Chains A and B, each alone.
Chain A
Amino acid sequence: GENVEQHPSTLSVQEGDSAVIKCTYSDSASNYFPWYKQELGKGPQLIIDIRSNVGEKKDQRIAVTLNKTAKHFSLHITETQPEDSAVYFCAAMGDNNDMRFGAGTRLTVKP
């Protein structure tokens, strides 16, 4: 089955700096890669996703990149704000719609 690894497990940045979270996956058949943000006491919220036919996708301050050959994908947050502080999860899904998550990254943005 699919195995997703995520790094780093914790990340602390100064407000205004950029944050990068990286994930690797094992199943070359995976073709859909969503990112979720989880705030304390809440369910994970889908913030951006990318499909295997696209190398990069951007939505305001967040962007995702995908390298299919190397089987890794990354989340980039620019101009970070304190409200970006949360736990971020990457996931990978294949044609069978089976979804597996990385272990999560706790991002802290210091004002």
Chain B
Amino acid sequence: NAGVMQNPRHLVRRRGQEARLRCSPMKGHSHVYWYRQLPEEGLKFMVYLQKENIIDESGMPKERFSAEFPKEGPSILRIQQVVRGDSAAYFCASSPGGYMNTEAFFGQGTRLTVV
């Protein structure tokens, strides 16, 4: 059973371009979380999704950022018109969900650099 897979591991974008970050959860996991981490800082919650539903997007900027977790395929975090301040590591985690069955496992992250 493969772990949480994120790709790409490293992504370089010029200002104004779009960044698409992909997260394939562990097999059997239907819950995905996205976090952003700046160097030397903690994990800042962005969005929590279940299959085809956004459950909590309170941590996501209202503009330029969007996330989806379709019925088939990976979860996608999309950043439009990137700016230098978007440079960070973006981690996703997945869990099976359900009451008392909530271990969440992280991917290795995507390091976005905006030049």
Contact = CB atoms under 8 A, between A and B. Distances in A.
B48 A98 contact: yes
Interface residues of B, number: 28
Interface string B92-115: 010101111011111111000000
B48 to A, nearest CB: 5
Contacts, number: 63
A46 B43 contact: no
Interface in A23-81: 31-32, 34, 36, 42-46, 49, 51
A33 to B, nearest CB: 10
Interface string B46-64: 0010000001101000000
B28 interface: no
Contacts of A31: 100
Contacts of B104: 34, 46, 93, 99
Given A1-B58, A100-B45, A43 B109 contact: yes
A67 B4 CA distance: 31
A46 B103 CA distance: 8
Contact of B42 (A32, A45, A96, A101): A101
Given A44-B43, A46-B105, A100-B45, 6 more contacts: A42-B109, A43-B6, A45-B106, A93-B102, A97-B98, A101-B42
Interface of A: 1, 31-32, 34, 36, 42-46, 49, 51, 89, 93, 95-104
Interface of B: 4, 6, 31, 33, 35, 41-43, 45, 48, 55-56, 58, 91, 93, 95, 97-100, 102-109
